[in-house]
Structure 1
Amino acid sequence: MGSTVLEGRNTAAAEGDVTVFTVGMRINNFRALRSWWPVFTAMPRMLKELSQDKESGLLGYQMLLGLPRVIYVVQYWESPEKLLAYASDQDGQHRPAWAAFNRRLRAGRGKVGFWHETYVVPAGGHESVYLNMPEFGLGKATGVVPVGRRGERAAERLSR
């Protein structure tokens, strides 16, 4: 995340629909390094691959730490179709990582947990405000504009 604080009130410059994909893991047994370490290291490789391919549809992402044991990524995509295309791409990093994870999951007997959630948010169904923050979240993925350009209140920004 950039460290330059953007003073004042800003909102994400996102126009139109946005697909939000959250994916993460929970380390259920820290000593079972073989179960969770490959999962942990696969995500940065996939994010690098996606970030280098401007046609992938990935707008941006944030890696976050949750409660102890939880690591997750919030990804912002142009469309669900592009997200699903990456997930099923036989030549990309995702398919082999997913196959290897499934083998480890069966062998690991609950030593690592995994989840993902996908939200397709229509235009007018998302709004944001960032107060004296570096670019973050959807604003980091799409850039930010002063709040006044989209409406001073959340209700105004949602009705666009």
Structure 2
Amino acid sequence: MSDVVLRGRMTAEADGDVVVFLIGMRINRFRAVRAWLPVFRAMPRMLRELAAEPAHGLLAHRLLLSGPREFAVIQYWECADKLLSYASAGDAEHRPAWAAFNRRARAADGAVGVWHETYVVPAGSREAIYIDMPRYGLAAAYPAVPVRSGRDRAAQRLGAGAEA
């Protein structure tokens, strides 16, 4: 992702539904490194695989640190079908990583936690604004365009269907 700042007020131009996938882990016991380190290492492998093969459907992602024990990734996908297809593909990184996590989790007795949430956001049910920011969030997944006249307020953009 580029760190080039887009000057002014921008919005994300996304037509149709937007799929947002949030996934994270929480280290519950720091000393149980054998339980949480493989989980921590699995996500970068999956993100590299997804970046190398755009047909899987990942449009953009952002890594987040929520303190010393919590890590998360925000992901934007082309559609829910592609997200679900990747998650269940036997020849992709996710499925073996998930199986290995489940085996280790039973033996780790709660040393590491994993969570995810999936949102399919229909057109007209989202709004985005970026002021003097690099491409970020939804605008990293879809074109970033200047806010048009008549779409200056959040309520106007929210009811616009497409974000611009």
TM-score category, normalised to shorter length? over 0.9
Once the two structures are superposed, the pairs formed by residues 56-75 of structure 1 within 5 Å of their partners are: 56-75=56-75
SS of 1:148's partner is coil
Following TM superposition, by how much is the alpha carbon of 1:3 offset from its aligned partner in structure 2, in angstroms? 2.1
Following TM superposition, by how much is the alpha carbon of 1:54 offset from its aligned partner in structure 2, in angstroms? 1.7
Pair 1:152 & 2:159 matched: no
Aligned to 2:32: 32
1:104-123 CA deviation, whole Å, 9 max, x = no partner?
Answer: 11111111011000001001
Aligned to 1:140: 140
CA distance in structure 2 between the aligned counterparts of 1:15 and 1:149, rounded to whole angstroms:
19
Following TM superposition, by how much is the alpha carbon of 1:150 offset from its aligned partner in structure 2, in angstroms? 7.8
SS of 2:54's partner is coil
CA distance in structure 1 between the aligned counterparts of 2:94 and 2:47, rounded to whole angstroms:
10
TM-score of the pair, normalised by structure 2: 0.93
Aligned to 2:81: 81
The list of structure 1 runs, each at least 4 consecutive aligned residues, that deviate by more than 6 angstroms after superposition, is none
CA distance in structure 1 between the aligned counterparts of 2:27 and 2:150, rounded to whole angstroms:
41
1:15-73 CA deviation, whole Å, 9 max, x = no partner?
Answer: 21111000000011111111111111100111111111121111111111113311000
SS of 2:101's partner is helix
Aligned to 2:93: 93
Structure 1 counterpart of 2:96, one-letter code? P
Unaligned ranges ≥5, structure 2: none
Aligned to 1:22: 22
Pair 1:123 & 2:106 matched: no
CA distance in structure 1 between the aligned counterparts of 2:8 and 2:64, rounded to whole angstroms:
24
Unaligned ranges ≥5, structure 1: none
TM-score of the pair, normalised by structure 1: 0.95
What's the RMSD between the two structures over aligned residues? 1.3
Count of aligned pairs? 160
Q: Which is worse superposed, 3-12 or 143-152?
A: 143-152
CA distance in structure 2 between the aligned counterparts of 1:150 and 1:54, rounded to whole angstroms:
35
Aligned to 1:50: 50
